[in-house]
Amino acid sequence: MQTVHLAVYDTLADWEYGYLAAGVNNPEFQRTPGEFRIETVGAAADPITTLGGVTITPDITLDDVDPAASAMLVLPGAQTWDSGNDEFIDAARRFLDAGTPVAAICGATVGLARGGLLDDRAHTSNAPQQLAATGYCGADRYLDVAAVTDREVITAGAVAPIEFAREVFARLGVYDDAVLDAWYRLYAHHDPAGFLALGQQ
């Protein structure tokens, strides 16, 4: 079984990881059912409170994670990314150095920019101005799209949790191509044909 590590911290944006976590942790429709699991990881073992007021106690801490043994590090947004979460920026660098993908959405892309991890990769975020404020050197690689995958880094804006999940599913190989297409048609485009296609799997 492969473990996808979902970072958790105070003011975590609840809506940004929901589709991703459900798809990774739910064996239904997966190419290899039960191949993946979600494990929450915190900077410390203390419970965190999400932006929606939900309390989450991390399964493990960053000190317990071996990046080389992980399938991916997922960094959702939070109100703390403009100047905080340095432990997770350092973790993202360790994961990438180990060849393990990192997926960041919303404010987490600001953290990657602050850490210099978007300087040489195509990427996106909530707006180019938000990343420019970090002083990073990758502005010419910014793409005005919902989600981007470049090598081992996935980025997305806050209003693109479905596209974010799709990129993660594709990178991990959670679903085969037909299922991923049906899933995206259903959730992104509200296309009932996507529901019917999934029902035939």
Residue 84 to residues 80, 81, 110, 140, 174, Cα–Cα distance (Å) = 5, 5, 10, 25, 31
Q: Is 195 helix (H, G, I), strand (E, B) or coil?
A: helix
Residue 87 to residues 67, 147, 165, 186, Cα–Cα distance (Å) = 14, 24, 24, 36
Active site residue 106: yes
Q: How many Cα neighbours within 13 Å face the side chain of 69?
A: 6
CA dist., res. 127 & res. 150, Å (int):
18
Burial class of residue 122 (count of CB atoms within 10 Å of its CB; 0-12, 13-18, 19+)? middle
CA dist., res. 25 & res. 144, Å (int):
30
Please report how the helices 161-172 and 18-25 are oriented relative to each other, as an axis angle in degrees rounded to 10: 30
**Catalytic residue of the set 92, 106, 180, 186:** 106
Q: Is 116 helix (H, G, I), strand (E, B) or coil?
A: coil
Per-residue DSSP letter, 28: T
Catalytic site positions:
106
